């Protein structure tokens, strides 16, 4: 079964064609390359990205960790301003006085008329 059959005497022509394959001409290859380059998709021109105002503010504050610290300090300062002056004893005494809302705070007393 490993023997080849020669059909119609064409095998010699096929062997000759395999031995010397035809190569395309140089100008044909140059024209095809020019056409391929002309049809190739081009990337659109990108403009330089300018960060917006909020992005610049976030970067100037040190990113999200800086903003988190600033917000925490602001909320704590607002809480201290609304509840009045606190001492370390008030914070760590173990009593629940801080949870009671006093309608008259230090802020209200500062604006009270004598």
Residue 95 in domain: yes
Helix 63-83 × helix 53-60 angle, to 10°: 80
Number of domains the chain is built from? 1
Specify the length of the chain in residues: 114
Neighbours of 30 (CB within 10 A): 10
Residue 94 lies in a domain: yes
- What pLDDT, in 10s, does the model give residues 47-65? 778 888 999 999 999 999 9
**Mean pLDDT within 14-33:** 86
More confident residue, 108 or 40: 40
Q: What range does the domain containing 81 cover?
A: 53-111
Q: Is residue 24 domain-resident?
A: no
In a domain, 44, yes or no: no
pLDDT at 103: 60
More confidently predicted of 72 and 48: 72
60 is a domain residue: yes
Percent of the chain, pLDDT > 90? 27
Of the pLDDT bands very low, low, confident and very high (cuts 50, 70, 90), residue 3 is low
Q: Is 93 part of any domain?
A: yes
């Amino acid at each position: 079964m490993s023997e080849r059959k020669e059909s119609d005497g064409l095998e010699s022509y096929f062997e000759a064609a395999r031995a010397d394959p035809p190569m395309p001409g140089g100008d044909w290859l140059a024209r095809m390359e020019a056409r391929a380059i002309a049809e190739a998709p081009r990337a659109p021109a990108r403009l330089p990205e300018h960060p917006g105002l909020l992005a610049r503010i976030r970067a100037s504050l040190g990113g999200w960790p800086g903003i988190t610290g600033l917000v925490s300090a602001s909320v704590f300062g607002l809480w201290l301003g609304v509840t009045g002056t606190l001492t370390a004893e008030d914070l760590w005494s173990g009593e629940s006085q801080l949870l009671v809302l006093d309608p008259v705070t230090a802020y209200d007393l500062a604006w009270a008329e004598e």
